[in-house]
Every structure is written in structure tokens, then in C-alpha cells.
């Protein structure tokens, strides 16, 4: 059993930070997301430190979509992070967390008129994903007499070793402007009255366990930056996105460290800017690497069933953690109240949702399980709660955050009333 340092075992119970997970499950109920704030702080320091060792002008924009809870955004804001934001909600939350507008980048391939107006109003830079969007943004800024700093999102046409649903820099991807069309896009930005082309942006995908594609990406961006200098664009920042993966299978996954990541991308970046004679800020947009391993999902066994395989039916399903169902993702599971017990048989951990695909973990060797046992699902901090739903009319669970001895709610559990509150009886049914 390999555990990250903030997860330990005492008296047969799994602990997170300074807390017994079984006690947390009793106190707050299950299902329950539990986040160790200290782990996020450590992760942030390590990743930003690895990059800063090469270059002082690094800006870390946390990918807020990974986990948008206000408490988490506040932790990262307090460390100096900005955010990659993808919606009006994320802009609003990041600002509420204390992040400055100029430390945000409004990303996305399908922004609405109100999204663009919000960016202009708040002074948030925009990663522009099409020429159509550029024209709309120019008009929105012109309407209020402002100028907006933008980057174009480049599609570098780089294949990455990850699940096809989270590879974003493929030629066929919906994201970005093909690298071959980028110069024309900047020409149009230079000609636009209310647009200042201040940066260039790229994101090649997520859960990437090889550093080489990142180095190639930086190489593409440096080449383009050189071409941009020739047409008179003076870039203040180069944003290389996020995507660094984590070892969900701790026993067997090889995952690059932040130092290895920095060791691959920074020399390419530094040589490139030296040759070009420029010193732009380097922006990165990590999501998963900062928050995934900070969080576990605690779920209680409702019943055990021996069928063609043995199912442990638990109270959390893909309503709360959709990654296994959506990407066949692997998450380590432990019996949190039986950490010292012998591993006896293989269980499939099945959720309460009315779908065959509602399996959190398949065929895992665990101690004998019984109703009432607590299963901990690891590495649930990124794209876990953030992708949850109320499917099957199940209220979402609570989220707890820990800081040293402190344990408190960062989101209360929803109730049945929360499900029905936004519903309306149409007048003809009244
Ligand atoms: N920047 C942009 C523009 C992005 O689209 C993303 C993630 C990131 C940064 C952060 O990537 P990260 O460092 O977290 O890999 N739901 C999927 C992942 C979707 C990623 C979406 N974009 C999953 O659960 O694996």
C-alpha cells in the first residue's frame, strides 16, 4: 500500500492530515468529500517553486474548473495564484476569493455575449478562440470605451498520451485556432480598435504523464512568438496551459515530478526567449496537479452482494464522482475503517445510481466488507465534486476542508428541498 504523506494509518483507521476519516464520516455523514488544505499549499509551493527556480516571472493560474469551491480558491489566492476561468461563475468565484482581475484568463471556445461583456467590465483578459469571437469582443469593448488584453488560443496539433476526451491540442479538437492561421489572427487583432494582443495561449490536454509533449508545445509557441515579433506584436505573456498528470495508480504509474516538468519546458522557454531577445511572463494553468491528491471521497457501504462478482454497494456513485464512468479512470480505494485487516476478496464498488456503468472501482482486493464500512476513494480533488450532478434526484453531498486540527464545512450537503427549490409548476398545471 503506497499512501501520499498526508494520508496515514492509525489504529486500523485511515487518517487525512490530523483527522481520523471514520470520525469525519460519523461527524459529517456520508457521502463526504474531505480536502486537506495543507496538501494544496504544499503542492502549490512545489510546482511554482520548480518553475521559479528557472525564471522569476512565472504566474500560476489555477484551473478553477478542477475544483471551484470558494474555500479552495481562497487558499490558492492566498498563495498568490490567479485562475484560468471558463465561465461567468468561475470569474465571479475567483474574484470573490480575492484574486485580482488581471491575474485571471477567461478561456473557452464558446463564450456568450454576456461572458464577453463581463470580461470587459471586470478587466479580465480573454483567451480568444475564434475570429468571430475577436470581432464580438472588439465590439463589446468599444461599446463601453475600453480596450481588452487578449491572447489567442493556439491549436498546436500535438498528440498527447491521454484519454481522447481530455486531449485538447489535436488537429481535430474544438479548441483553439490552428497554428497555421495564428499570424492572420494577430494581424486582425492589431487592426481591431479595442483589442490589445498581449499574449499567446495553449493547452494540450490533461492527465499527461510524459513531459515531452509539453516541451514540444513550448517550442511551437516560441516559434510563433518569433513570427509575431516580425509583425510588430509585443507579447507580455506566454501561457502554456495545464495538463501535468498525477499517478492515480501509485504502485505502477510513472508520473513526472514538477521538477521534471520544469526541467523539460523551462530550457526550451529560456533558450527561446533569449534568442528572441524578449522577457515575457510565463503563465501556467495547472488544475489537477494542485488539488487532486488533496481530497478523498468517503462513502459508506449500504450492502454487500455476492453475484457473478462481489459488489459492495455504496452511497456515492457517478453522481458524485463521474471520472471512472466517463473516462474509465482509476481511483485507489481503501476500507478506511479496516486498514489493518487482511485483504480477503475482490469487490466492485458500486454506486446507488440506476445505471450499469455506476461503478467507482472494479475488482479491487479489499478486506471482508459489511454494511456500515467506510470506503475512501483517493485523489478525488480534481474534477470530482466539480463534475457532480443531482442525477436520480440525489442531493449532492457535503464537502469538508481540514487545516491542521480544524475541520469545517466548505459546502453543506444539499437537501431534498434544494432539489425542488428551483422547480416551477407551470401556470396551466396549477
Ligand atoms: N487550462 C485549460 C485551458 C484547460 O482546459 C484545462 C483543463 C486546464 C488548464 C487544467 O488542466 P489540468 O492541469 O487539470 O490537467 N474532467 C477531466 C479533465 C478535463 C480537463 C479540462 N481542462 C478529468 O476528470 O480528467
For ligand 1, what atom is nearest to the CA of residue 168?
A: 5
The secondary structure of residue 123, as a DSSP letter, is T
pLDDT at residue 184 is higher than 80 = yes
Mutation test residue for ligand 1: of 60, 65, 175, the one with most atoms within 8 Å of CB: 65
* CB-ligand 1 contact for 287 (6 Å cutoff): yes
Report residue 157's pLDDT band, with 50, 70 and 90 as the boundaries. Answer: confident
- Per-residue model confidence (pLDDT) at position 113: 98
Q: pLDDT band for 166, please (50, 70, 90 cuts).
A: confident
The confidence band for 95, taking pLDDT boundaries of 50, 70 and 90, is: very high
Is the pLDDT score of 377 beyond 90?
Answer: yes
Query: Exactly one of 202, 342, 354, 397 is catalytic; which is it?
Result: 354
Distance 176 CA to ligand 1 centre (A): 14
Distance CA 322, CA 388 (A): 7
Does the C-beta of 116 come closer than 6 Å to ligand 1? no
- pLDDT in the model for residue 324: 98
Residue 209 has pLDDT above 80, yes or no: yes
| 15 Cβ inside 6 Å of ligand 1 | no
State if residue 391 touches ligand 1 by the CB under 6 angstroms criterion.
Answer: no
Q: Which atom of ligand 1 is nearest to the CA of 289?
A: 13
For residue 99, name the pLDDT band (cuts at 50, 70, 90). Answer: very high
Tens of pLDDT, residue by residue over 210-240, are 999 999 999 999 999 999 999 999 999 999 9
- Please state, in angstroms and as integers, the Cα–Cα distance from residue 62 to each residue in 93, 177, 184, following that order: 12, 23, 30
For ligand 1, is residue 203 a contact (CB within 6 Å)?
A: yes
397 is catalytic: no
pLDDT of residue 50: 98
Residue with the smallest CA separation from ligand 1 atom 7 is 206
Nearest alpha carbon, ligand 1 atom 19:
166
pLDDT per position as a tens digit, 350-362: 999 999 999 999 9
Q: How many residues does the chain have?
A: 430
Q: How far is CA 102 from CA 99, 132, 197, 337, in A?
A: 8, 24, 14, 46
Q: What atom of ligand 1 comes closest to residue 243's alpha carbon?
A: 15
pLDDT of amino acid 103: 98
Kindly report the protein residue whose alpha carbon is nearest to atom 24 of ligand 1. 383
Per-residue confidence at 29, pLDDT binned at 50, 70, 90?
A: very high
- pLDDT value at residue 101: 98
Average of per-residue pLDDT across 279-296: 98
**Nearest CA to 8 among 277, 336, 303?**
336
Closest CA to 33 of 319, 348, 328: 319
> What is the rounded average pLDDT of the residues 114-119?
98
Instruction: Report whether residue 323 contacts ligand 1, using a CB cutoff of 6 Å.
Output: yes
Which protein residue's CA is at the shortest distance from atom 9 of ligand 1? 242
Query: Quick one: pLDDT band at residue 203, thresholds 50, 70, 90?
Result: very high
142-156: buried (b, 16+ CB within 10 Å) or exposed (e) per residue? Answer: beeeeebbbbbbbbb
> What separation in Å is there between the alpha carbon of 355 and the centre of ligand 1?
26
Per residue in 40-79, pLDDT (tens digit) is 999 999 999 999 999 999 999 999 999 999 999 999 999 9
> What is the mean pLDDT of the segment spanning 330-336?
98
Amino acid at each position: 500500500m503506497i499512501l501520499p504523506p498526508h494520508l496515514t494509518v492509525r489504529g486500523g483507521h485511515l487518517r487525512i492530515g490530523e483527522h481520523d476519516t471514520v470520525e469525519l464520516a460519523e461527524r459529517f455523514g456520508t457521502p463526504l468529500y474531505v480536502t486537506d488544505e495543507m496538501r494544496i499549499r504544499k503542492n502549490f509551493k512545489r510546482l511554482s517553486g520548480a518553475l521559479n527556480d528557472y525564471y522569476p516571472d512565472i504566474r500560476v493560474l489555477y484551473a478553477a474548473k478542477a475544483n471551484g469551491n470558494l474555500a479552495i480558491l481562497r487558499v490558492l489566492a492566498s498563495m498568490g495564484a490567479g485562475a484560468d476561468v471558463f465561465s461567468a461563475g468561475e470569474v465571479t468565484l475567483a474574484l470573490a476569493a480575492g484574486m485580482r482581475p488581471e491575474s485571471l484568463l477567461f478561456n473557452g471556445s464558446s463564450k456568450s455575449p454576456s461572458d464577453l461583456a463581463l470580461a470587459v467590465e471586470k478587466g479580465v483578459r480573454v483567451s480568444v478562440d475564434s475570429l468571430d469571437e475577436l470581432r464580438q469582443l472588439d465590439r463589446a469593448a468599444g461599446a463601453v470605451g475600453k480596450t481588452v488584453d487578449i491572447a489567442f488560443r493556439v491549436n498546436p496539433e500535438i498528440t498527447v498520451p491521454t484519454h481522447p476526451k481530455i486531449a485538447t491540442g489535436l488537429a481535430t479538437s474544438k479548441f483553439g485556432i490552428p497554428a497555421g492561421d495564428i499570424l492572420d489572427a494577430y494581424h486582425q487583432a492589431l487592426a481591431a480598435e479595442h483589442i490589445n494582443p498581449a499574449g499567446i495561449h495553449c493547452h494540450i490536454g490533461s492527465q499527461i504523464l510524459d513531459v515531452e509533449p509539453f516541451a514540444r508545445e513550448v517550442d511551437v509557441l516560441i516559434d510563433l512568438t518569433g513570427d509575431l515579433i516580425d509583425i510588430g506584436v509585443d507579447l507580455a505573456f506566454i501561457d502554456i496551459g495545464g495538463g501535468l498528470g498525477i499517478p492515480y495508480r501509485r504502485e505502477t504509474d510513472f508520473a513526472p515530478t514538477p521538477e521534471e516538468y520544469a526541467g523539460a519546458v523551462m530550457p526550451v522557454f529560456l533558450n527561446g526567449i533569449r534568442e528572441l531577445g524578449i522577457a515575457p511572463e510565463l503563465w501556467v494553468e495547472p488544475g489537477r496537479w494542485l488539488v487532486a491528491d488533496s481530497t478523498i471521497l468517503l462513502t459508506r457501504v449500504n450492502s454487500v452482494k455476492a453475484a457473478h462478482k462481489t459488489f459492495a454497494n455504496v452511497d456515492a456513485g457517478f453522481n458524485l464522482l463521474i471520472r471512472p464512468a466517463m473516462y474509465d479512470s482509476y481511483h485507489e480505494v481503501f476500507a478506511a475503517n479496516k486498514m489493518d485487516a487482511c485483504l480477503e476478496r475482490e469487490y466492485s464498488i458500486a454506486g446507488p445510481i440506476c445505471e450499469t456503468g455506476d461503478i467507482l472501482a472494479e475488482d479491487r482486493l479489499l478486506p471482508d466488507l459489511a454494511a456500515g464500512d467506510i470506503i475512501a476513494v483517493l485523489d478525488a480533488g480534481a474534477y470530482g465534486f466539480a463534475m457532480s450532478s443531482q442525477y436520480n434526484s440525489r442531493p449532492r453531498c457535503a464537502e469538508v476542508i481540514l487545516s491542521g486540527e480544524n475541520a469545517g464545512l466548505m459546502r453543506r450537503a444539499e437537501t431534498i428541498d434544494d432539489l425542488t427549490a428551483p422547480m416551477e409548476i407551470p401556470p396551466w398545471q396549477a
